[in-house]
Amino acid sequence: MNRPTMLEGPYGLHWQTMSRLVQYYAVGDEWDPLRLWGLPASGDPEPLPKVGPAVYTAVSSDRCFWVGQTQNLHDRFTSHMAIPYRRHRWLYVGAMVLKPDTPAAIVNRLETETAQRLRPADGKAWPQAA
């Protein structure tokens, strides 16, 4: 299956901008922040790695559903996928993985700025898409 990247959705340029802004804190070439990982609804699910800290987003081909942060991407999505509507709507996850010593204030700011730009459709913590 030819998997899309974060650049292919309407959220792509915002995501790319955010990943460039935190380049100093990123783990480097070992992680591609533009890669999308398949979730069950994609028809091609993949096991998510146990990485963090990370700011992540759950998306479909044309919309952002969720923005969050975690210390363990695999465990966080195990709990997200326990909620049926998410399991059926969310197709992919993208993540910006940061160095372990990244200050919490940087992670919080990245999550906030990303959510303000992507305007996730689910949840109540961030401004939502119109």
Q: Break the chain into its structural domains and give their ranges.
A: 6-118
**H-type alpha helices, the chain:** 12-21, 73-80, 84-89, 104-118
**pLDDT at position 76:** 95
Lookup: tokens for 126: 């961030």
**96 beta partners:** 55
20/62 Cα distance (integer angstroms): 22
CA distances, 72 to each of 2, 18, 25, 65, 116 (Å): 26, 20, 17, 19, 23
The closest alpha carbon to 93, from 118, 112, 128, 126, belongs to: 118
Question: 10-residue block means of pLDDT along the chain (130 residues)?
Answer: 80 86 86 91 90 94 92 94 92 94 94 91 68
pTM exceeds 0.85: yes
**pLDDT at position 100:** 94
Lookup: tokens for 100: 């372990």
**pLDDT at position 130:** 54
13/10 Cα distance (integer angstroms): 8
